[in-house]
Structures are given as C-alpha cells and as structure tokens.
Amino acid sequence: MTETSPQLLACDKDVMTLRRLEKVFFAAGLKCQTKESAPAAADFEGGARLLLVAENYLQFALGVAPPDCAILVLAEEDVPGALGAAAKDARVNHLFGRRAANPVRSWEVLHVVRRLVKHYELEGIKPFLHWGARMHETLVASSEDLHHVVEWVPSFCEKLGTPPKVQETFAELAHELLMNAVYDAPIDAGGNALFAHDRKREVVLTEDQAALFSVGTDGETLAVSVRDPFGRLERRHVFGGMHRALAAGGQLDTEGGGAGLGMMYIYQHGYGSFFTIKPGISTEVTVLYDLGLNRREFTTLPRSVHVFHEQ
C-alpha cells in the first residue's frame, strides 16, 4: 500500500528513542525523517508538517517550523517551559511527558499522530483502554446526580484495589470535572452562563444539556472522562492555566472563563490529560492514571497534555 500521509520530522539526541519512534510512525502510516540534532528550515522543504521534538530543541523548532506545522513536544524536565510555549504558540498542542528510563509511550504517540493525520473523532474512554476493559458511563443531569457519582467513584476504585489516596483523588477529580460541566459550561441561547454565578444552588439540566461521565479500567490504566454539550473551553484556558499554576508553585488556577476548569488540578491528578474541543458543540476532558506506579513515582512523573480541536 502506498503511503500518502504527510511527512513527519522527529528530532531527539537519543538514538534509541528515534529508532523506537520510527517503528511507531510506520505503524501510523507516516513517512518520517529522524535527526539527532535540532530542526532546521531546510527540513521542511519536503513538506513535513508534523514535528516531534525534544524539549531542548523546542526553541529552535519555534523559530523554523512553518505556520501550519503541528509541533509535538517530548517534555522530560522543563515542563513549565513547554507549557509556556504552548500557551503562546498555537502550533504547540501536544506535550508528551517522559522519563529517561521510559522515553516514550508508543501507544500515546500513535494515538496522537493518527488523530492528527486521519482526523479521527474519538469520544469517551474506550480509545484509551485495552479491549475488554470494564467501563461505566452515566448522564449527569442535575446537582443531585453529580453528588451521587462523586460518592460512588471511591467504591469503584476500592473494588479495583487502589490505595485510599487514589480513591480520594479520583473522587476529587470527578467532582472537579462535573462541577465545570454542570455549573460552568451551560449557557442560554444568548450565550449567558446559567449557573456559574452560584455553585451551591440546586441545578436541573435538560437531556440536551446533561454531561456524560465515564470511568473505567483495563487493570493497568484508570481513566475518567466528562463531556459537556457546549464546547466553550479554549486552548488558552488549558495551557495558560497550567503554566500559570506551575509558575505559582502548583497553586490551582481556575481563571480564564469558559468552563472555569481548575487546570492544575487536572494536570496533577493523572499522568496524561486529553482535551477534545468542538467549539459550540462539546468539550471532553479525559484523565489517565497508571495503576502500576506507586505514589512517590507518580508525584514526580512528567505529565502529558493533549488538546485536539475538531469542527
């Protein structure tokens, strides 16, 4: 079969990482070029419009990549710098958190580049879990529904065998995501927020306004996702909020309007967060947790952040 996908350029000083990535790009149906040095303007003359670049080459990439080039960053140490670059430059929508001992998660790279190249529209947690995973989903159409879900999440995590801290963490995460979907996201026909001014009031949503909550596991990953039918979140809220919070020493940042998400809270509660934004249609936030990590490993793990824009 002839490969017709756009060409991808990968730049990293680690040869083993590049060899591993070449196999992933082949699986994605991508023609690729790999370099052990920083990208140069001449590298894009052949039509490359996807650039996967190590964080130490990011500033070079920002200077030479074409305006229509998607820049994907491998972030190991300078995550705040990568988030700051993403907040300022619309070409940077994908950060892959990595460690030297485990340079890339192949499935994550494959997931992202396939979505970018093939324009797949994926929903829910199923794409992030292995076949046969256990999943639950429910519509959340009121503040009462919200509280029932938050109270149920720890029992699900307990049956999975997670430590009490993880049970507590995912209950808090579910609460954060659902509060934004139930209170901050809904607007009326004129674009005015319906409930954001009072997060303590009782709320009842129509079926068309209800949020969809999903949680599931394949025994290796624990995933939680919330989708609202309004699509008001913007990329600047994601990267700007996370960057400001890290710069402020990890304080939660709920500024920026839109869905009013506590971006740093989302960032801290999983090893990866995926935002799928369809402006005016829906916003979905999915957070993943590695069940194989102990809490000490998890707290120091560089996080991944991915923002997909779909029309």
Average pLDDT over residues 166-175: 94
Query: How confident is the model at residue 249, as a pLDDT?
Result: 66
Indicate whether 107 and 135 sit together in one domain.
no
**300 confidence band (pLDDT: 50, 70, 90):** confident
Q: Which residue from 287, 293, 284, 290 is spatially nearest to 272, judged by alpha carbons? A: 287
* Sign of the CA dihedral running 245, 263, 288, 173: positive
Q: Indicate the number of domains in the chain.
A: 2
Within a domain: 195: yes
Within a domain: 29: yes
Within a domain: 2: no
What is the number of other CB atoms lying within 10 angstroms of the CB of residue 36?
12
Average pLDDT over residues 131-137: 96
Query: How confident is the model at residue 49, as a pLDDT?
Result: 92
Within a domain: 221: yes
Q: Which residue from 240, 219, 239, 241 is spatially nearest to 289, judged by alpha carbons? A: 219
Q: Where would I find the H helices in 48-198? A: 58-64, 79-88, 106-118, 143-160, 164-179
pTM: 0.92
| Residue 259: pLDDT over 50 | no
Mean pLDDT over the full length of the chain: 89
User: Are the C-beta atoms of 78 and 282 separated by less than 8 Å?
Assistant: no
Structural domain including 181 reads 126-309
The pair phi, psi for residue 244, each rounded to 5°, is -65, -35
Query: How confident is the model at residue 101, as a pLDDT?
Result: 60
Tokens of 148: 């029932």
Query: How confident is the model at residue 250, as a pLDDT?
Result: 56
Within a domain: 94: yes
Average pLDDT over residues 34-41: 96
Q: What's the CATH code of the domain at 172?
A: 3.30.565.10
**208 confidence band (pLDDT: 50, 70, 90):** very high
| Residue 181: pLDDT over 80 | yes
| Residue 197: pLDDT over 90 | no
Q: What's the CATH code of the domain at 76?
A: 3.40.50.2300
**257 confidence band (pLDDT: 50, 70, 90):** very low
Average pLDDT over residues 4-22: 85
